[in-house]
Amino acid sequence: MLSWLSPNTQWVLLSTLILGMAAGMIGCLAYWKRQSLMSDALSHAALPGVVIAFALTGVKSLPVLLIGAAISSLLGALMIQGIRSSSRIKEDTAMGIILSVFFGFGIMMLTLVSRSAGGSQSGLDGFIFGQAASMVRQDVYIMLGMAVLVILVVFIGFKEWKLFLFDPGFAKGLGLSARWMNNIYLSVLVLVIVIGIQAVGVILMAALLIIPAVSARYWSHSFKTMVVTSGLFGGMAGMSGSLLSSLGSGWPTGPFVVLTSSAIFLVSLVFGAEKGLLVQALQLRSQKKQYQHSTWQHKTVHVKEAD
């Protein structure tokens, strides 16, 4: 079906499909943990790590840049937890602080590097909005392998994730360490972010984590169904956005991924089987009819009793 595309583009589409699935699944965990802003904060916090890794090595090697992004994101997560535990600042406020400080520092570093010798040729600005078409096959293999690892972590520990999110007291009684589960959660969240920033960008990576999970919520109350649906929505958004961006020269991938995710969200908002606006309108209409019918029957009984 996509034979008219180059082999490398087909590999990129496969990698963004798997990336979107992994992001959608992890996004469900963040949604139920009420930490949707965490994904936004950590994705922005990855930018200075990318720039510093390039400045230290002088080469745009994806493994090196991902290591820098991972260290920077993990540092941001630790600082968020430190601010929350050592002060009266709430978690969402701490996330906002880390997001703005790290991203501002990253932009400053990016400007300095771009003005240095050869810096303008580094292509690091592609990490802001994403440029999947610029990935080579080795980059695709790395992204694909790490995304599959994240998906396996979610599926293998599905029962543990469910206990960790919905009944932490019972999970503790069974010997499940909340600290370890939280560390694993932050690790896979950071992993998804760092492997997706080249394709989607640090600014819009959060959309690939948040929007599919919110869209899936309109289709089911079941956690398992929501995780699978969110993964499918994320995969559709990632692949469609990459396909659209590959049609033009130098088109950033992130904005197209966000647009396709938004389209999926709008369809879910209107036609969702559980909480969609259309379903709610039909249910409200049915309830009004039942109420009117019961009221009419009640009045009829009273009239007959009066006669």
Which tokens go with 197?
Answer: 């920033």
What pLDDT is recorded for position 35?
85
Write down the residue that tokens 């992204």 correspond to: 143
Which tokens go with 293?
Answer: 């019918």
CB 133 within 8 A of CB 12: yes
Domain boundaries, the chain: 7-206
Give the CA angle between residues 99, 217, 21 to the nearest 5°.
Answer: 65
d(CA 1, CA 19): 21
Q: How crowded is the C-beta side of 17, counted as CA atoms within 13 Å? A: 8
Q: How many angstroms separate the Cα of 41 from the Cα of each of 71, 108, 204?
A: 14, 17, 11
Query: Chain centroid to CA 9: how far?
Result: 23
What pLDDT is recorded for position 12?
82
Which tokens go with 91?
Answer: 């978690």
Q: pLDDT below 50 — which residues of the chain?
A: 120
d(CA 4, CA 25): 31
What single-letter DSSP state applies at residue 119?
G
Query: Chain centroid to CA 50: how far?
Result: 19
What phi, psi does 200 have (nearest 5°)?
-105, -30
What pLDDT is recorded for position 267?
94
Cα-atom radius of gyration of the chain, to the nearest Å?
Answer: 23
What pLDDT is recorded for position 122?
58
CATH class entry, domain 7-206: mainly alpha
Q: How would you class 179 by CB atoms within 10 Å of its CB: exposed for 0-12, middle for 13-18, buried for 19 or more?
A: exposed
What pLDDT is recorded for position 282?
83
What pLDDT is recorded for position 114?
78
Q: How many angstroms separate the Cα of 71 from the Cα of each of 52, 90, 127, 138?
A: 11, 24, 16, 22
What pLDDT is recorded for position 37?
85
Tell me the one-letter amino acid at 133.
Answer: A
Secondary structure class of 209 (helix, strand, coil): helix
Tell me the one-letter amino acid at 41.
Answer: A
d(CA 92, CA 164): 20
